[in-house]
Structures are given as C-alpha cells and as structure tokens.
Amino acid sequence: MTLEEKIGQMNQISSYGNIEDMGVLIKRGEIGSILNEVDPVRVNALQRVAVEESRLGIPLLIARDVIHGFKTIFPIPLGQAASFNPGIAEEGARISAIEASAAGIRWTFAPMIDIARDPRWGRVAEGCGEDPYLTSVMGVATVRGYQGESLSDPTSIAACPKHFVGYGAAEGGRDYNSTFIPERQLRNVYLPPFEAAAKAGAATYMTSFNDNDGVPSTGNKFILQDVLRGEWGFDGFVVTDWASATEMIAHGFVADAKEAALKSVNAGVDMEMVSYSFVNYLPELIKEGKVKESAINEAVRNILRIKFRLGLFDHPYVRETTEDIFYAEAHLEAAKRAAVESAILLKNEGILPLKESVCTVAVVGPLADAPHEQLGTWIFDGDKNYTQTPLAAIRQLYGDRVEVIYEPGLSYSRDKSTEGISRAVAAAARADVVLAFVGEEAILSGEAHSLADLHLQGAQSQLIEAVAATGKPVVTVVMAGRPLTIGRQVELSAAVLYAFHPGTMGGPALADLIFGKEVPSGKTPITFPKMVGQIPVYYAHHNTGRPASRTETLIDDIPVEAGQTSLGNTSFYLDAGFDPLYPFGYGLSYTTFRYDNIRLSDSELKKNDILTVECDITNTGEYEGTEVVQLYVQDKVGSVTRPVKELKRFTRVNLKPGETRTVVFDLPVEELAFWNIDMVRTVEPGDFGLWVATHSQSGDEFSFKVMD
C-alpha cells in the first residue's frame, strides 16, 4: 500500500452528493469508511467502485448510528436497562443488526456504556444508567446481539462501545463538558463496562468528546494505548467521535488541525470521523518524523483486521430488496416484549390493573397519540407510520370493554397553552378513570439536549392537577428520555407507570400493562431525584464522616428564630432530606413478593473462593409476576473508602401466586476486587455486608468475612 492508501483507510466521511463525487475519492483509495448511507442500491454502487475500480480493491465499511433499533424501534437503552434483562438487550441488538445489515450497514456506533449519574445530561437516554455492573451486563449483551455468533455472518454488524471514557460524568450534566475523574474512580466506576465489552469481543471503540483532567480522550495515550490495548489486549480499531480530533483545537489542547492529527494518531486513534486532519496532515507529519509510519501501519492493520473479520472481502455487496426484513412480525413482537419489561410501576393504590367495572376511560396528555415522540432519541431510520400509540392500542385491543374519550389537553409536551385543559377535565368528569400520558418529546433528550431543570415541560403539571381535581383516579404514564422530578404528579396520581420512550410497540405494551394482560416488572436503572438540587444522587455513594440518619430536622420543622444549631451534624439537605424520590433498583408489581431464608455458603472465605447466596422468593399476591432479585455487597473497611453498596448480581424470577422458588447466586470473591490506595486491583481482607433485596435501599443485612 502507498502511504496515501494507508491514510485513506484511516479516513471516514459522511455520505454526500452523488455517487460519482464520492467515487473519485474512493477510486483513489482515499476513503476507508462511509457513514450515514442507508440505501442498499447506493451502498452497492459505492462498494463497487472500491472493490472493482480502486487499485487495491479494499471494500468500504458502511456505518450508521443504530442505537435502539433501525426500522423496528425498541425502548431507549435506559428503558431496556430498566428490564434488568440482558436477553432484551441482546435480542433488540440482534434484530437491529438484521435490519441494518439488510441496508448495507455493517458497523454501528453503539452500545453507549457511559456511567451516567446526572439525568440533566441528555445522553443519559442512550446508556444503561448509573451502575457499572448493570451497564457491563447490558453492554455485553448488546455487543453480542449486534455481532452475533460470528462477525462474518452477513447479518452481523460491528459494535462500537462508546464513549471512551468518562463522558457521562460531564460537569453539570452539560453535554461535551469537561470531566474530572481521578484514576482510581475511573478504574473502579467508569472503565469496567468498557473492559467487559472488550472481553466480549467488541470490534471497535469510539473516543469521547470530553477532556478528563485536561486531556481530551481523542488525544489520551493512557486510555487508548496503556489501558485499552496494553492491559485489555484489544486488537480492533479506535475511531474518533464526530470531528473530535479537530475539536481538540477548541479544547485548547492543540493549536491546529495538523497538531490534532499528530496527537490523535500518537495517542492510539486508528480512524478519523469526518474532520479530514489525517488525510490532510499525516503525510507531512511523517516526513517531519513527528509521526512514525509504523504507527500508520498498525492503525491500518487494525482497520483491515475488522474488515476481514466482517467478511467484507468475500461478500462486499448486499441484496437490494428489504421489504421482508423491516418491521417483520417477529421483530415487532420482540419490541413489544421489550417495552413491557422496560416499564416501571412506581406507584399503585390498587387502581391498576383496570378492573372490569371500569366502563369509561378518559385518555389525556400530549404523549397519548404521539407516534414520533414515543420512539425517543437517536432515531434516524424509524418510521412513525409504523408506531402503535397508547391511544390506538387501547381502542383496538380494549375498545370492546371500555368507552374511550380522548381529549389530549395539550398539543405537545412543551405546549404552554391551557385552552384545551378544560376539555380534558370535562372528559375526566365523564369517565371512571383518567389515563394521563405525559413526559418529554424525543427531541428533549439525547446529544446536546441537556436540561437545567427536570420538571414536566409546558402545562403538563397543570393538566394533571386539573384532571385530578375532578376526584377521578388518575393513572399517570410517563414517556421520557430520563428521570424527571415528578414528585407532585406522583402525589396527585393513583398510579404511575414510567415507560421512558418505549419505541414502535410502546402502545400495545402499555395497554396490556394497564388492563392487566401483562404485569409490570421493570426497576429503576438510575436514581430518581426529588429535585434537581440533589444531583448527583446515586445509590453507590461513599459515606461521609457524618452520614445521614434519615431522622434529621427538615426545613418546615425548624422553629422560627431557632438558635444556630447544627440540626444533627449529618450530610443531607434541609429541604430535600437525604433520600431520592425513588432509589436505584426500585419498581412495583401487581403482586407482592416475600424474601425468606437468606443463607450464605460460608461466613469466612478466601480470595479464590466462591460465595454462594441462596434466597427463597414467594409470590404472596394474586397475580403471576416477575421479580428482579438483586444482590448488593459492601466492603466495610478498605485502604480507601468504599461505596455503601454495590450491585453484584441480579436475576428475574417469574412466579405464580403462592409459588416459592429458591434463587441462587454464585459470587466469586475475586469480583470484590477494587483499585486500592496503591493503585493495585485486589481483594482486601476484612468484613463485608450483603443484601438480597427488591431494591438498593431495602433488605436485611447479612455479613461475611474475607480472610487474608
């Protein structure tokens, strides 16, 4: 290969114009990958130039953001994480790969496995929430779904875990912002999901936009070479995020595009997305001896290795008809199942599921019949005409049982006009129950869609207050890309279902949940704050020297002209207290579950032992249901302070009324390791607490000891 052909493999462009314009560059070997081309006819035409007309015949790698569905749209990843079911993530990614590969796409920029503990950050919707273990499990499942049993399968697409690394900790929840994560926290919290994805065989990685402690990820040799390749043995290739190489100029980390190319390649980046600094400046930098040609050779090897593994050299072209693949019946059914398992029942005063005695339902709210909005963020290729909304599903599936009165009250989530609320109130007055569908439009979450406040937008709060004032029970269903501060709406509602953005089949899934054909089983994958001022609030925090007792004096209980007292000397807010609105792992069911006879295989273990934990789970209610059983551990004393709890295992258990089943968790002691005061990953001997519980703030504590 000539130097120019090598650098061409490192160049990714976004599809544009006509085939002939791009074909000139492809024929010269100046393009290695194209993103945002979804027409299989055009894909084949571009590929034909690369394979049949360029000197070397190296096929192109066609890429696209396929985040939670290509045509058939699944719940947003944060919603899928609420299922605590890796099978949902794997099946969704597999179907996404089947549909996307039919259009010629063989590479997706997913999964996003950034740990995110600030719901103001719009991209929280794209990830799995706040917990490293849950994110690791769901991320690995997604990688397996995209890549299938073999990358060479024509229906497989290369996964790209992103954003490497720390992007989810953007200061203030403001997208693209700086992060300040020390190495120990980076290794204990933010790197584990990426390491798990590497061990699962992820083909590519993407650098993140943020700088951490002053070093942008695209120019960070420590994470790209020392950790990713040196420690984890990754042999795929690394791509920049969109123009993140040249954005290091704005960071103030490089002076110009030439220096951006220099620092990116020397840090370990293999392919540049759309900003052209590699093509424009690497030949000059090599002549000057500032970049070694051996670094270019290694980058190209990494890229070609993935192209070979994808089978592109043997099968570069795709079938040009897709009618039998997009929105297949099996795909829609899987999307519905994902939406059912992603929904979280936050409150229920016995109103759900709706009983036979309910004759008339008033359907209100701007999200009741919003086919585009329920698809959620990062949907480039989903067609809203295939969306099945709650209103349509209720009418179709249950219209023979109940009379449906539809008065949205508001036109869209940000609608501040209250003119339509009176009609919604009139509908509520005529009904037995009100179903209020509220939340966020899709555009309000995702990249560059950060919010400083998390309340319901527009006049949605007034709508719920008005229909609740009729005295009719209100079932509030929230569709959103993040946790919202809905404490007041919860108080006014007889029941609350949180569905995030549930995708194409969200309507039938919610209708079946509301009317009892399905039973909710989702759990919160991220802590729900009472108010924005609590953020960051997450379950796996460290204790202060004065931890909250939850019996502190709150602001309304302080006497007027009280003396300047400390009110308990603990770490909490006078106005919000200590606890969130809903903790991590929380979610109700239509039935109830009892945890009994928790037992540990041993009270003292060595570092190479396996701790077996057993618990009897009984369905004590009237409905068949699924419980997500969660295992938490606390390292009581360490060389550095440790989180108050860490999720280590979970499983879904389906039980009939009265049925009891024994859940067994096997936990290798080596999984209690952390990066200690000497920056060594090790299991430190000492006392540990353990909980088997329904959420992160529940359950009785048990104990065991790890011996030296």
SS3 content of the chain, % helix, strand, coil (to 5): 30, 20, 50
Q: Can you tell me the distance from the alpha carbon of 208 to that of 607, in angstroms, rounded to the nearest whole number?
A: 35
3-state SS string over 224-286? HHHHHHHHCCCCCEEECCCCCCCCHHHHCCCCCHHHHHHHHHHHCCCEEECCCHHHHHHHHHH
**C-alpha closest to that of 10 among 289, 352, 291, 387:** 291
Active site includes 256?
no
How far apart, in whole angstroms, are the C-alpha atoms of residue 33 and residue 22? 11
Residues 386-390: contacts with CB within 8 Å, 24+ apart? Answer: 386/71, 386/72, 386/327, 386/504, 387/73, 387/504, 387/506, 387/507, 388/504, 388/505, 388/506, 388/507, 388/508, 389/506, 389/507, 390/363, 390/435, 390/437, 390/477, 390/506, 390/507, 390/510, 390/511
User: Any idea of the CA torsion for 54, 55, 57, 60, to the nearest 10 degrees?
Assistant: -50
Inter-residue contact 63 to 105 (CB < 8 Å) = yes
Which residues lie closer than 8 Å to 450 by C-beta, 6 or more apart?
120, 121, 122, 173, 174, 175
What distances in angstroms separate CA 700 from CA 642, 680, 692, 694, 695, one per listed residue?
20, 32, 8, 11, 12
Tokens describing residue 467: 């229909």
**Going edge to edge, which strands form the sheet with 625-635?**
604-605, 702-706, 686-693, 625-635, 646-655
Angle between helices 257-267 and 293-309 (to 10 degrees): 70
Residue type, 107: W
3 state SS of 355 = coil
Distance between CA atoms of residues 484 and 460, nearest Å: 13
Residues 118, 241, 415, 512: which is the catalytic one?
241
Report, as residue numbers or ranges, the catalytic residues: 241
